[in-house]
C-alpha cells in the first residue's frame, strides 16, 4: 500500500507524498526564519536612521542644561553684587 500511487490522481505513493510534504514544510520554515531575520535587520536599520535624524542625545542635553543653569546662577550673582555696589555708592553719596 505504501508504494501504491494514491495521491494527486495516481502521481504519488504515500511515501513520496509524505516526503514531499515534509520537504515543503522545511522550506517554508526556512523562508519564515529568513524573513524574520530580514525584518529584524530592517527594524534595527530604521531605528538607527530615526535616531540619526532626530539627533537628540539625552546625555548631551542634560549636560547642556547643567551648563546653562550654572551660567544663570553666575549671572544672578553678578547682578546681585552690582546691586549691592550701587546701594553702597548711593549710601556714600547721601
pTM for this structure? 0.45
Q: C-alpha grid cell for residue 26? A: 522545511
According to the model, what pLDDT value does residue 3 have? 66
Q: What angle do CA 16, 22, 25 make, to 5 degrees?
A: 140
**Same domain assignment for residues 9 and 44:** yes
> pLDDT, tens digit, for every residue of 2-55?
666 666 666 667 777 788 889 999 999 999 999 999 999 999 999 888 877 777
Q: Which domain holds residue 28?
A: 1-55
**Same domain assignment for residues 2 and 42:** yes
- Strand, coil or helix: 74: helix
**Same domain assignment for residues 45 and 23:** yes
DSSP H helices in 1-94 = 14-54, 58-93
According to the model, what pLDDT value does residue 68 have? 96
Contacts of 71 (CB under 8 A, 6+ apart): none
**Same domain assignment for residues 61 and 50:** no
Domain count, the chain: 2
Amino acid at each position: 500500500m505504501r508504494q501504491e500511487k494514491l495521491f494527486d490522481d495516481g502521481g504519488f505513493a504515500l511515501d513520496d507524498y509524505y516526503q514531499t510534504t515534509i520537504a515543503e514544510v522545511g522550506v517554508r520554515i526556512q523562508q519564515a526564519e529568513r524573513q524574520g531575520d530580514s525584518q529584524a535587520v530592517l527594524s534595527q536599520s530604521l531605528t538607527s536612521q530615526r535616531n540619526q535624524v532626530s539627533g537628540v542625545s539625552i546625555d548631551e542635553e542634560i549636560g547642556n542644561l547643567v551648563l546653562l543653569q550654572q551660567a544663570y546662577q553666575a549671572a544672578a550673582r553678578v547682578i546681585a553684587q552690582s546691586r549691592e555696589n550701587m546701594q553702597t555708592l548711593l549710601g556714600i553719596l547721601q
